[in-house]
Amino acid sequence: MATGAALDIPLFPLNTVLFPGGLLNLREGPPIDLHATPGVFEQLSAGLPILPVLQHYCGVRWHLVPVAGEARAARFAVGGFEALQFEAVAIPGKSPPYAAPRGESAVGEHIALRVKDHASGGRLFFAPGLARVGEPEIEVMRDADCLIVDGSFWSDDELIATGLGRKRASDMGHLPQTGGPAGTPGMIDVLCALPASRKLLIHINNSNPILDEESAQHAELKRRGIEVAYDGMELSL
């Protein structure tokens, strides 16, 4: 991340308990400053013990982000980015296969990140994994200038319809673009109802037709003012 007169944020795979694998790519570098909730720390120490492995390679400095139990949000600071205000917010999710117990995750195992630039006032909401969007999520998304959210699947039965799997998007904790379970609004409808000036989808599964820029689905997103994030993309707010 970099900040100045504006909020300039390269898109990178922010880790929650859903996406821990990227941490291993950092093992040959300097010690890692890991900002994590208690639930994420527990899963990465026991359920999928990546942190003990990293400790033997580069070392890990864990910084507690106190989102757990009744505490559904917490602000925290990141060294070197004093001009930015960070806030972790608990969001709905499903536990990954390595977690025990399975099912709905505990508070703090899945978070979204809110970032505010003190200089420009720009606000970002970042949630690469989002099982559903209810009133609590709408409330925190409404004041963002930029929304970067879960774009994993176009439809709930995408993997089944393409013969790539047997699970629905909702089974894996992802709200598809075109409608959730039991007729609930999909991500497109959610985003179109919010006032943010930039709306992007990230963490896109390779089965999702929006990756094809010539597809009808990609054209539909463009018509609705929704962007598809890409590697190396930078945003200035």
177 found inside a domain: yes
Closest C-alpha to 96, from 205, 21, 183, 192: 21
Query: Does pTM top 0.75 for this prediction?
Result: yes
Does the pLDDT value for residue 122 go beyond 50?
yes
107 found inside a domain: yes
Give me the pLDDT at residue 103, please: 57
**Kind of pairing between the strands at 2-3 and 7-10:** antiparallel
Tell me if 68 sits within 8 A of 42, measured CB to CB: no
Share of the chain above pLDDT 70, in %: 89
Contacts of 216 (CB under 8 A, 6+ apart): 209
What average pLDDT does the segment 40-48 reach?
87
105 found inside a domain: yes
Give dist(CA 69, CA 214) in Å, integer.
Answer: 45
Residue 232's pLDDT band (boundaries 50, 70, 90)? confident
169 found inside a domain: yes
Give dist(CA 193, CA 170) in Å, integer.
Answer: 21
Tell me if 126 sits within 8 A of 116, measured CB to CB: no
Q: What is the pLDDT of residues 155-166, one digit of tens each?
A: 999 999 999 999
Domain that holds residue 208: 67-231
46 found inside a domain: no
42 found inside a domain: no
Give dist(CA 53, CA 67) in Å, integer.
Answer: 25
Give dist(CA 187, CA 196) in Å, integer.
Answer: 14
Q: What is the pLDDT of residues 6-35, one digit of tens each?
A: 445 443 333 334 456 678 888 999 999 999
The Cβ-side half-sphere exposure at 100, using a 13 Å CA radius, reads 5
Considering its fold, how many domains does the chain have in total?
Answer: 1
Residue 4's pLDDT band (boundaries 50, 70, 90)? very low
CATH value at residue 81 = 3.60.15.10
2 found inside a domain: no
Distances (CA, A) of 106 to 80, 92, 111, 139, 192: 31, 9, 11, 21, 29
Closest C-alpha to 16, from 59, 48, 53, 60: 48
